[in-house]
Amino acid sequence: MTSEPRRLDLSPYMRRQPVTLALLIGLAVVFFLAVSALARIHDAQRESLAERWAARGVDSLNAQQYAPAIDDFRTALLYARDNGAYQLSLAEALMGLNRLDEAHAYLVNLWEKEPDNGLVSLELARVAVSKNQTEQALRYYHNSIYGTWNGDQDVERRKVRLELISYLMRTDARPQAEAELIDLAATVGDNAQEQEQLGEMFAKTGDDQRALAAFRTSLKLQRHNPAALAGAGAAAYRLGQYGDAERYLEEATDLNSSDAQSAERLRMTEYVLHWDPFLPQLSQREQNRIAIAAFAAAGARLKSCKTQDAQEQGFQQQWNKLKPQLTDRGLDRNPGPVIAAMNLAFAIEKKTDGTCGQQTETDKALLLVAGLREEN
């Protein structure tokens, strides 16, 4: 009878296997946690180094030390390669040294990732301005205006639009600048300083009506602002609204005695009001007095011409013919010649402007009155 084969008793090993597996899993977990901790420490060190170099770069950038700023931000990017803020700052430093192509490369990369980023679009617009690429500049400026911003978006967008308007003014694109200003005006509310700035910009485009309206709004919010008063006075002066101009300019010069430009405009405004016989508040006698003096001044101006052309000779004949009627007594009886006398005086002043020697203040004032009467 054959004996049965002996069976190995594996039960001790089977009992140890779960323990071994558990130990192996535990070791794996420990190693994983250790590696993760080391990775976090490494990442934290890299982040700390990136922040440290970036902080140095910001200091250099603020001090307009662009070369060290470039090195600092490039070093920061070695530790934080995908940090968009560092890339943007690096681009700004490159722009500071006029390395526009390099700056453009960084900015375009950022723009492709965040096409609605207002600040990135603004920097791209500035690069385009520096490279005289008007079409691209306008496109990026508008992207920036309608893009997203950190903080107060309305404030940032107004700043960008003002920068765009300044650029359009520099390139003599006044119609486009005025259109942007009209859009800007719709976003400016009860802020005296912004309304004043709006008035200044409209004045630069030659839109004195809107300039005056903006200055008046500013003055409603901040009554005794010498800059807004001076701006309102200048706009009213150019519009021929001399009564309003006098009022604004008087207050502006009272508040700021060093404002020579406003003082000169005020002086000419007072001359105009003195030499305009058609102001509604004047009596007939005052109108007559002004007409006689203006007629005499125009005659003196005509005689100052060393040589007279045919038109000026014709004016001289008309002046000689009309002169006997221009007396206080004669005009008291018949004020009709006042209009004829002033029309002739205006015609003489316009014809001799710039051709017959130096003008007197009276000549200048009569030219302004003539322009005012033509508009009316």
Domains of the chain, residue spans:
188-275, 277-376
Task: Determine whether 256 is exposed, middle or buried from the number of CB atoms within 10 Å of its CB (0-12, 13-18, 19+).
Answer: middle
How is residue 232 written in tokens?
A: 């309102």
Q: Which residues contact 93 (CB under 8 A, 6 or more apart)?
A: 57, 60, 61, 66, 69, 70, 73
97-147 residue pLDDT tens: 889 999 999 899 999 999 999 999 999 999 999 999 999 999 999 999 999
How far apart CA 99 and CA 97 sit, in angstroms, is: 5
| 358 CB neighbour count, 10 Å cutoff | 6
Q: How far is CA 343 from the centre of its chain?
A: 42
Q: What is the pLDDT of residue 314?
A: 93
Q: What is the pLDDT of residue 198?
A: 93
190-235 residue pLDDT tens: 889 999 999 999 999 999 999 999 999 999 999 999 999 999 999 9
User: 188-275 in CATH: which number?
Assistant: 1.25.40.10
Residue 246: is its pLDDT beyond 70? Answer: yes
Residue 19: is its pLDDT beyond 70? Answer: no
Instruction: Kindly report the average pLDDT of the chain as a whole number.
Output: 87
Residue 22: is its pLDDT beyond 70? Answer: no
| Percent over 70 (pLDDT), the chain | 88
Q: What is the pLDDT of residue 124?
A: 95
